[in-house]
C-alpha cells in the first residue's frame, strides 16, 4: 500500500555504495489508477502489504450500473463497478471466464479473455469484389465496441478480437 | 540447461577472462615487488562500520575485507602486500552485488592516497589494454565540490532539507525514512546526481570525501579549511570499483572511531560486534605510513566483459550457490 492505494512492484534496483547505506529504487504501478511511478525506499523501511489477489471468475450479467461475476468453485457472486470494469465491458460475453483482481475481497480490475468472438451489429456493406486488403471500415458491436475490420467483412458475421488492443484478428466460421 | 539452477551463471568465456584477470594482477604485483599474502577469513572480531553486516559463524565472523589482519602484517613486517580474497557481506544482493564476492586489496608503504591513485590507474590501464579496450586517462572529481554544485551551497552549509529539496526540484523520489541522517541523504544524492553524471566509458576517481565518511582514512583540511578524508573511490562509468585510503595510523583515534561506529549501531538497533583489539594493538606498536585500496574484481569483470549483471561474472550467485 502506498499513499492509500494498492500498488505492485514492476522493477526494483538495489543501491548501496560500498561504505554507504542501502536503498531500493522501485517502479511501482498503482492498481487503482494504472499509473506507474518511481519510488525510492531506504533499506529497512516497512511498507503495509495490500490484500490483492487475482482470481478467475465467470461473467454473469450487467444491470448497467454493476457487472456481476461468479466464482466457479464457491458460487460466490461479486459485483464490479464502472471504475473496476474500465474498458473491459466492451469485450464481455456472458459466461466468459475473466481474470478479476480483488482488493480487500472486492473487484478492483477486470481483464476479459485475451480473445473474444463477437457478432457485428452494424457495418456498412463492402463493395462487390472488394477482397483486396488495405482498406478498413468501422464495425459496431453489441457492447458498444468499434473495431476496424477489412472491407469484405459483413454485418452479422462473427469476428475474433484481441481484447488487449481491440484489434480485429479474423472472421470466425460458424 | 542454461536456465536450470545447477548451471553456472558465468559462461566459460567469462571464467577464462576471470583467470586472465587474476594472472595479470599477479604479474603487476610481482613487477612492483608487492608480496601476495593470505590472511584468515574468520576472526573473533568484526568490522564496526554500521553499514557493513558480517556473517557470524559460531563465535567468529567472516571477514568483510582482509583489512584488519593485513594491517597487522604491515605493523609486523612493513612490506608492500596484496591479497585476492573472497569476502562476505550480509544483505547485499542485486545486479552489482552478491553477498560473497572477490576483493583485491593491497597496501603500499610510504605512499599517500595520491600516489596510490596513480598505482591503481597504472594497474587498470594494463588490465584495460590487455583486454583490448580503449584507455582514457581517469578524471578526478572532488566529492565536496560535486555535492556543493548539486545543492548550490557550500558543502559545510548543507543540511538534510537542502538535499531533500534537490530531489523535489528534480521530481525524484526521496525516502522520508532518511530523517535527519545527513550521511544517508548524501549517499543517495551522490548516487542519484553525482555518479549518474560520470561518463559511461571512462574511469573517475571521486576524491576528498567529507570527514564524516572517513572510515579508516586520515583526516585533513582542504584549501577552504573544510575537514576532508584522505579517501578516494574508483568508478568505471557509473559502477563503483574500489575504495582507497591514506591509512590512519593513530591507534587512539582509531579506537574512538570504532566506538563511534558502535554508538551508531546502538542507535539504529543494529547488532553490535567485537572491536578488533589485535588491530588496535598492532597500530599501537606502529603501523607504517601507507595507503591501501580494495578493488572489487567481480566489478572489474563486469566492466571488462560487458556483462550487465553480476550473475554473469560469478560462477554461482545467491541462492544458486
Q: Quick check: A15 contacting B, CB < 8 Å?
A: yes
**Low-confidence spans in chain B with pLDDT less than 50:** none
* B51 and A20 Cβ atoms separated by less than 8 Å: yes
pTM (two decimals)? 0.84
Residue A134 and residue A126: Cα distance in Å, rounded?
Answer: 13
pLDDT at A33: 87
By Cβ distance, the residue of A18, A19, A42 closest to B184 is A42
Residue B14 and residue B315: Cα distance in Å, rounded?
Answer: 9
By Cβ distance, the residue of B96, B172, B184 closest to A21 is B184
Q: Quick check: A21 contacting B, CB < 8 Å?
A: yes
By Cβ distance, the residue of A14, A19, A37 closest to B243 is A19
Which percentage of chain A shows pLDDT scores above 90? 80
A41 vs B175: CB contact, 8 Å cut-off? yes
| Residue B159 to residues A143, B47, B150, B278, Cα–Cα distance (Å) | 59, 28, 13, 38
Count H helices and E strands in chain A, helices first.
1, 13
Task: Give the number of residues written for chain B.
Answer: 321
pLDDT at B291: 98
B233: nearest CA partner in chain A: A18
Residue B217 and residue B248: Cα distance in Å, rounded?
Answer: 5
The model's pLDDT over A47-83, given as tens digits with 9 standing for 90+, comes to 999 999 999 999 999 998 999 999 999 999 999 999 8
Query: Which of A42, A43, A44 best tests the B interface by mutation, with the highest count of B CBs <10 A?
Result: A42
Helix/strand/coil for B193: helix
Q: Between A and B, how many residue pairs show a Cβ–Cβ distance under 8 A?
A: 69
ipTM value: 0.91
Q: Quick check: A39 contacting B, CB < 8 Å?
A: yes
C-alpha cell at position B263: 554508538
Helix/strand/coil for B5: coil
C-alpha cell at position A76: 460466490
Residues of B in contact with A17 (CB under 8 A): 187, 190-191, 233, 240
The H-assigned helical ranges of A40-141 are 82-85
Question: Band of the pLDDT at A156, cuts 50, 70, 90?
Answer: very high
Q: Are strands A67-70 and B231-236 parallel, antiparallel or unpaired?
A: unpaired
A41 vs B177: CB contact, 8 Å cut-off? yes
C-alpha cell at position B202: 571512462
B177 vs A44: CB contact, 8 Å cut-off? yes
pLDDT at A132: 58
Which of these, B109, B68, B101, lies nearest to B85 by C-alpha position? B101
- H/E element holding A22? none
Q: Quick check: A47 contacting B, CB < 8 Å?
A: no
**Dihedral of alpha carbons B225, B228, B233, B235, sign:** negative
CA distance B51 to chain A (A): 6
Place of cell 574484481: B297
Rounded (10°) CA dihedral B277, B279, B284, B285: 120
Q: Quick check: A41 contacting B, CB < 8 Å?
A: yes
Give the mean pLDDT of chain A.
Answer: 91
Give, to the nearest 10 degrees, the angle between helix B297-305 and helix B113-130.
Answer: 40
Residues of A in contact with B229 (CB under 8 A): none
Helix/strand/coil for A102: strand
Residue B74 and residue B213: Cα distance in Å, rounded?
Answer: 24
Which of these, B57, B60, B105, B100, lies nearest to B80 by C-alpha position? B105
Could you tell me which residues come within 8 angstroms of residue B204 by beta carbon, excluding any fewer than 6 positions away? B138, B139, B140, B141, B198, B234, B235
The model's pLDDT over A91-137, given as tens digits with 9 standing for 90+, comes to 999 999 999 999 999 999 999 999 999 999 999 887 655 555 568 89
Cβ neighbours around B242 below 10 Å, total: 23
B188 vs A44: CB contact, 8 Å cut-off? no
Residues of A in contact with B177 (CB under 8 A): 41-42, 44-45
B181 vs A45: CB contact, 8 Å cut-off? no
Task: Give the number of residues written for chain A.
Answer: 174
Residue B25 and residue B112: Cα distance in Å, rounded?
Answer: 21
Which of these, A19, A13, A45, lies nearest to B268 by C-alpha position? A45
Query: Which of B47, B176, B177 best tests the A interface by mutation, with the highest count of A CBs <10 A?
Result: B177
Rg (CA), chain A: 22
B183 vs A44: CB contact, 8 Å cut-off? no
pLDDT at B52: 96
Query: Which of B48, B191, B294 best tests the A interface by mutation, with the highest count of A CBs <10 A?
Result: B191
pLDDT at B319: 82
Question: Band of the pLDDT at A16, cuts 50, 70, 90?
Answer: very high
Residues of B in contact with A18 (CB under 8 A): 233, 240, 243, 294, 296
Average pLDDT of A34-45?
93
Cβ neighbours around B73 below 10 Å, total: 18
CA distance A165 to chain B (A): 32
CA distance A27 to chain B (A): 11
* A123 and A138 Cβ atoms separated by less than 8 Å: yes
Residues of A in contact with B213 (CB under 8 A): 19-20
By Cβ distance, the residue of B94, B173, B190 closest to A13 is B94
Q: Quick check: B184 contacting A, CB < 8 Å?
A: yes
A37 vs B240: CB contact, 8 Å cut-off? no
| Residue B242 to residues B36, B106, B190, Cα–Cα distance (Å) | 19, 11, 16
Strands of A51-126 (E only): list them: 52-62, 67-70, 77-80, 97-103, 106-111, 115-122
Amino acid at each position: 500500500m502506498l499513499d492509500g492505494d494498492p500498488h505492485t512492484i514492476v522493477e526494483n534496483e538495489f543501491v548501496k555504495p560500498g561504505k554507504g547505506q542501502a536503498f531500493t529504487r522501485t517502479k511501482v504501478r498503482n492498481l487503482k489508477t494504472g499509473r506507474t511511478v518511481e519510488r525510492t525506499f531506504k533499506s529497512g523501511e516497512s511498507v503495509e502489504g495490500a490484500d490483492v489477489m487475482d482470481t478467475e471468475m465467470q461473467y454473469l450479467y450487467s444491470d448497467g450500473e454493476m457487472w456481476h461475476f461468479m466464482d466457479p468453485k464457491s458460487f460466490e457472486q461479486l459485483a464490479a463497478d464502472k471504475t473496476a470494469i474500465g474498458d473491459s465491458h466492451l469485450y464481455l460475453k456472458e459466461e466468459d471466464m475473466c481474470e478479476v483482481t480483488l482488493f480487500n475481497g472486492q473487484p478492483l480490475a477486470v481483464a476479459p479473455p485475451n480473445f473474444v468472438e463477437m457478432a457485428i451489429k452494424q457495418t456498412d456493406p463492402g463493395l462487390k469484389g472488394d477482397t483486396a486488403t488495405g482498406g478498413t471500415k468501422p464495425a459496431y458491436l453489441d457492447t458498444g465496441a468499434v473495431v476496424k475490420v477489412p472491407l469484405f467483412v459483413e454485418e452479422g458475421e462473427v469476428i475474433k478480437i484481441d481484447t488487449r488492443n481491440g484489434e480485429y484478428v479474423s472472421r470466425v466460421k460458424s | 540447461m542454461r536456465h536450470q539452477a545447477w548451471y553456472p551463471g558465468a559462461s566459460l568465456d567469462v571464467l577464462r577472462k576471470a583467470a586472465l584477470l587474476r594472472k595479470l594482477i599477479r604479474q603487476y604485483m610481482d613487477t612492483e615487488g608487492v608480496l601476495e599474502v593470505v590472511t584468515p577469513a574468520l576472526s573473533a572480531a568484526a568490522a564496526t562500520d554500521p553499514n557493513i553486516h558480517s556473517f557470524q559463524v559460531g563465535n567468529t565472523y567472516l571477514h568483510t575485507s582482509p583489512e584488519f589482519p593485513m594491517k597487522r602484517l604491515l605493523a609486523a613486517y612493513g612490506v608492500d602486500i596484496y591479497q585476492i580474497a573472497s569476502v562476505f557481506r550480509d544483505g547485499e544482493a542485486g545486479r552489482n552485488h552478491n553477498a560473497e564476492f572477490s576483493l583485491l586489496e593491497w597496501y603500499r608503504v610510504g605512499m599517500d592516497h595520491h600516489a596510490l591513485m596513480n598505482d591503481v590507474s597504472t594497474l587498470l590501464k594494463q588490465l584495460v589494454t590487455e583486454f583490448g579496450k580503449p584507455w582514457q586517462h581517469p578524471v578526478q572529481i572532488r566529492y565536496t565540490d560535486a555535492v556543493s554544485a548539486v545543492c548550490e551551497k557550500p558543502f559545510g552549509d548543507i543540511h538534510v532539507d537542502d538535499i531533500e529539496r534537490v530531489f523535489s526540484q528534480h521530481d525524484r523520489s526521496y525516502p522520508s525514512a532518511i530523517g535527519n541522517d545527513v550521511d544517508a541523504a548524501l549517499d543517495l544524492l551522490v548516487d542519484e546526481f553525482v555518479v549518474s553524471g560520470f561518463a559511461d566509458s571512462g574511469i573517475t576517481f571521486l576524491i576528498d570525501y567529507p570527514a564524516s565518511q572517513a572510515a579508516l582514512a586520515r583526516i585533513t583540511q582542504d584549501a577552504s579549511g573544510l575537514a576532508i578524508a584522505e579517501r578516494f573511490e574508483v568508478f568505471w562509468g557509473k559502477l563503483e570499483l574500489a575504495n582507497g585510503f591514506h591509512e590512519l595510523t593513530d591507534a587512539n583515534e582509531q579506537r574512538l572511531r570504532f566506538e563511534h561506529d558502535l554508538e551508531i549501531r546502538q542507535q539504529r538497533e543494529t547488532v553490535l560486534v567485537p572491536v578488533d583489539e589485535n588491530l588496535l594493538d598492532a597500530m599501537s606498536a606502529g603501523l607504517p605510513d601507507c595507503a591501501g585500496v580494495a578493488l572489487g574484481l567481480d566489478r572489474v569483470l563486469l566492466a571488462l566483459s560487458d556483462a550487465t549483471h553480476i550473475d554473469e561474472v560469478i560462477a554461482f550467485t545467491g541462492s544458486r550457490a
